[in-house]
């Protein structure tokens, strides 16, 4: 690792991503204590910010991938998912057009998309706060990779559904 790598793990973009991801996770963990309208308003505002911060994460070379850990269990995922689904009730499910060979519509879930995002971001926050260089490298690398392949698209899908709910356009 060179000194510029060390600086990247504590760069402004990384620290801002940690802050926004942490706030998102805290909100989701207490989602049952908020009114449904407040939940939708919060997600409408935080999702674009998370997407922006995820897109600004630097490319990090991992010096030792044995420090890569996952922390959110299947049971925790299920609890978060059920809390979100129960909060959103009938607004949770929406239709998406699959951009595959058949262009078939299928049901999607805001709660599932946001819980998957929560899992990746919570793992990122916990691993980063282990406060070793290799843990931070792994946390940033995994978060960026999962943004590109997983949660970035899920956030966009959930945001579109929330937009349609909030502004009463056809779902």
pLDDT by residue, tens only, the chain of 171 residues: 444 445 899 999 999 999 999 999 999 999 999 999 999 999 999 999 999 999 999 999 998 888 788 999 999 999 999 999 999 999 999 988 777 666 788 899 999 999 999 999 999 999 999 989 999 999 999 999 999 999 999 999 999 999 999 998 554
Tokens (6 digits) for 92: 């949770």
The pTM score is 0.90
Listed in sequence order, the DSSP H helices in the chain are: 3-8, 12-29, 36-55, 74-88, 110-128, 133-146, 152-166
Max CA distance (Å), the chain: 53
Cα–Cα distance measured from residue 77 to residue 84, given in angstroms and rounded to the nearest whole number: 11
How many folded domains does the chain comprise? 1
pLDDT at residue 101, as a whole number = 60
> What's 113's domain CATH number?
1.20.120.1550
Specify the pLDDT at position 26.
98
Establish if 95 belongs to a structural domain: yes
- Give the phi and the psi of residue 108 in degrees, each rounded to 5: -130, 170
Kindly state whether residue 46 falls inside one of the protein's structural domains: yes
| Residue 89, C-beta contacts closer than 8 angstroms, at least 6 positions apart | 36
Residue 171 in any domain: the answer is no
Q: Print the domain residue range for 50.
A: 3-166
Q: What pLDDT does 66 receive?
A: 83
Q: What is the reported pLDDT for 51?
A: 98
| Phi, psi for 131 (deg, rounded to 5) | 65, 35
Q: Does some domain include residue 145?
A: yes
Residue-wise pLDDT for 151-162, tens only, equals 999 999 999 999
Q: Is residue 101 part of a domain?
A: yes
* Inside any domain, residue 16: yes
């Amino acid at each position: 690792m060179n000194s510029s790598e060390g600086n990247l793990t504590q760069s402004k973009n990384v620290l801002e991503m940690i802050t926004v991801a942490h706030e998102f996770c805290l909100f989701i963990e207490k989602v049952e204590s908020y009114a449904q309208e407040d939940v939708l308003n919060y997600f409408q505002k935080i999702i674009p910010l998370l997407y922006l911060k995820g897109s600004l994460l630097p490319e990090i070379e991992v010096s030792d991938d044995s420090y890569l850990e996952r922390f959110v269990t299947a049971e925790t995922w299920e609890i978060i998912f059920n809390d979100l689904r129960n909060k959103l009730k009938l607004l949770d499910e929406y239709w998406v057009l699959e951009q595959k060979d058949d262009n078939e519509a299928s049901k999607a879930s805001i709660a599932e998309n946001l819980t998957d995002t929560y899992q990746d971001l919570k793992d990122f926050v916990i691993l980063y706060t282990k406060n070793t260089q290799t843990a931070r490298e792994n946390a940033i690398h995994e978060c960026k990779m999962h943004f590109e392949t997983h949660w970035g698209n899920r956030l966009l899908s959930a945001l579109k559904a929330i937009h349609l709910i909030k502004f009463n356009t056809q779902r």
